[in-house]
């Protein structure tokens, strides 16, 4: 039996909907609430003669308007809420706008019975209220799940990017990276020199690691803290996963080299970098979740 970890009441244009988030992350709206928002008696769905069809879609004249996505959500979800007795039931929260679309489509073709007109009117109200924001976001806000979701998503991202155990050292930053950095700052560059100014670490953090998804650099600092001498035992990139973390690192290094080579001054470089890497950049598109 699924267990609800978060619960709340979602208000859609004055209509209250009881919703929960289950421990596996599924967002659910109670069956009674869906019936109620459609102008139906919440208790009418307790006994249903329609096999594998929700009670709010039991009428046969609605069948032509079912979509594949809708029918895939027909399985009722039974769950328990901590601190309450009995078993509650509901449906995937994303079924609600699809159910409303069924009634609206049927109404537009004159296929509704007089007793179904009320459901169509309520469906129009729900769809209008949902037009500005997704149902999933609304459920997360109503139940307080958004904070847990953010933590879970960050943890998932860090697992993809960062390895708890560190890898053997490998050269990740080519010499041209430091040569261009020295040029922009007016420093003398000597090939083969591996003792760089202390500012180099700040430069790499700012233009390489901070350009990765938020939270990655903080986690690297936790795994690879500064020593009593002020340095670090390892290079941050030794804690990056080969399939995702290192791949993003190398991509970021090459991009930074290109921008440095295209710049005559460090100010110009910073301007180009900020243009290519805005602070609010979303990194989801850079993550190959299938690589997990």
Q: Which two tokens stand for residue 188?
A: 């003398």
Mean pLDDT of 35-42: 89
Residue-wise pLDDT for 124-157, tens only, equals 988 888 776 677 777 777 788 777 766 666 666 6
Domain identity same for 284 and 170: yes
Length of the chain: 292
Mean pLDDT of 254-270: 93
Mean pLDDT of 261-284: 78
Instruction: Please indicate, yes or no, if residue 149 is contained in any of the structural domains.
Output: no
Domain identity same for 210 and 183: yes
Say what the pLDDT of residue 45 is.
57
Provide the sign of the torsion angle of the four alpha carbons 43, 48, 52, 56, taken in this order: negative
Residue-wise pLDDT for 191-211, tens only, equals 887 788 888 989 999 999 998
* 19 phi and psi angles, rounded to 5 deg: -140, 155
Per DSSP, the three-state class of 96 is: helix
Last residue of a domain, one of 84, 114, 143: 143
Range of the domain at 66: 2-143
Residue 178: closest CA among 245, 110, 261, 104 = 261
Mean pLDDT of 92-96: 93
Do residues 199 and 207 lie in contact, with contact meaning Cβ atoms separated by under 8 Å?
no
Beta bridge partners of 18: 9
Last residue of a domain, one of 143, 163, 179: 143
Domain identity same for 110 and 159: no
Of 88-92, 96-100, 145-149, 223-227, the poorest mean pLDDT is in: 145-149
Q: Which two tokens stand for residue 265?
A: 């001054």
Residue-wise pLDDT for 8-21, tens only, equals 888 887 788 899 99
> Parallel, antiparallel, or unpaired for β 15-22 and 2-12?
antiparallel
Mean pLDDT of 113-117: 94
Instruction: Please indicate, yes or no, if residue 260 is contained in any of the structural domains.
Output: yes
Domain identity same for 285 and 177: yes
Provide the sign of the torsion angle of the four alpha carbons 157, 158, 159, 162, taken in this order: positive
SS3 sequence of 214-272:
CCHHHHHHHHCCECCCCCECCCHHHHECCCCHHHHHHHHHHHHHHHHHCCCCHHHHHHH
Do residues 274 and 196 lie in contact, with contact meaning Cβ atoms separated by under 8 Å?
no
Per DSSP, the three-state class of 286 is: helix
Domain identity same for 181 and 271: yes
> In angstroms, rounded to a whole number, what is the distance separating the alpha carbons of residues 125 and 201?
56
Tell me, what DSSP letter sits at residue 164? S
Query: What distances in angstroms separate CA 29 from CA 69, 83, 151, 210, 288, one per listed residue?
Result: 17, 18, 23, 39, 31
Do residues 223 and 159 lie in contact, with contact meaning Cβ atoms separated by under 8 Å?
no
Mean pLDDT of 220-245: 85
> In angstroms, rounded to a whole number, what is the distance separating the alpha carbons of residues 29 and 95?
9
In the predicted model, what is the mean pLDDT of the chain? 84
Instruction: Please indicate, yes or no, if residue 254 is contained in any of the structural domains.
Output: yes
Residue predicted with more confidence, 180 or 287: 180
Q: Which two tokens stand for residue 149?
A: 């979701």
Last residue of a domain, one of 93, 112, 143: 143
Domain identity same for 123 and 188: no
> In angstroms, rounded to a whole number, what is the distance separating the alpha carbons of residues 182 and 124?
63
Say what the pLDDT of residue 291 is.
36
> In angstroms, rounded to a whole number, what is the distance separating the alpha carbons of residues 20 and 281?
31
Say what the pLDDT of residue 67 is.
92
Instruction: Please indicate, yes or no, if residue 148 is contained in any of the structural domains.
Output: no
pLDDT at residue 221 tops 80? yes
Instruction: Please indicate, yes or no, if residue 20 is contained in any of the structural domains.
Output: yes
Say what the pLDDT of residue 289 is.
34
pLDDT at residue 44 tops 70? no
Residue predicted with more confidence, 130 or 264: 264
Instruction: Please indicate, yes or no, if residue 10 is contained in any of the structural domains.
Output: yes
Say what the pLDDT of residue 287 is.
39
Domain identity same for 11 and 135: yes
Residue predicted with more confidence, 192 or 101: 101
Say what the pLDDT of residue 46 is.
53
Query: What distances in angstroms separate CA 96 from CA 37, 106, 135, 276, one per listed residue?
Result: 10, 16, 8, 40
Instruction: Please indicate, yes or no, if residue 108 is contained in any of the structural domains.
Output: yes
> In angstroms, rounded to a whole number, what is the distance separating the alpha carbons of residues 241 and 223?
13
pLDDT at residue 280 tops 90? no
Domain identity same for 85 and 132: yes
Instruction: Give the number of domains in the chain.
Output: 2
Residue predicted with more confidence, 152 or 289: 152
Mean pLDDT of 261-283: 80
């Amino acid at each position: 039996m699924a267990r609800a970890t978060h619960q709340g009441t979602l208000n859609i244009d004055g209509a209250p909907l009881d919703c929960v988030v289950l421990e596996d992350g599924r967002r659910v709206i109670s069956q009674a609430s869906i019936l109620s928002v459609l102008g139906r008696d919440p208790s009418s769905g307790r006994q249903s003669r329609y096999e594998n069809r929700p009670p709010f879609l039991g009428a046969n004249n609605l069948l032509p308007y079912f979509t594949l996505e809708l029918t895939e959500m027909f399985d009722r979800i039974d769950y328990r809420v901590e601190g309450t007795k009995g078993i509650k039931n509901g449906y995937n929260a994303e079924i609600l706008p699809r159910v409303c679309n069924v009634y609206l489509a049927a109404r537009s073709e004159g296929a509704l019975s007089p007793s179904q007109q009320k459901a169509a009117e309520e469906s129009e109200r729900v769809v209008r209220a949902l037009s500005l924001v997704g149902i999933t976001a609304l459920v997360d806000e109503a139940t307080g799940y958004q904070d847990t979701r953010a933590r879970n998503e960050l943890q998932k991202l860090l697992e993809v990017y960062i390895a708890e155990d560190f890898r053997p050292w490998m050269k990740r930053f080519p010499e041209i990276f430091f040569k261009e950095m020295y040029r922009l700052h007016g420093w003398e560059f000597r090939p083969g020199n591996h003792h760089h100014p202390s500012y180099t670490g700040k430069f790499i953090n700012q233009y390489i690691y901070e350009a990765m998804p938020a939270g990655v650099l903080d986690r690297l600092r936790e795994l690879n803290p500064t020593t009593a001498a002020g340095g670090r035992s390892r290079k941050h990139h030794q804690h990056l996963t080969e399939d995702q973390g290192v791949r993003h690192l190398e991509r970021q290094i090459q991009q930074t080299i290109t921008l440095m080579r295209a710049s005559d001054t460090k100010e110009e470089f910073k301007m180009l970098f900020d243009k290519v890497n805005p602070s609010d950049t979303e990194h989801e598109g850079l993550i190959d979740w299938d690589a997990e």
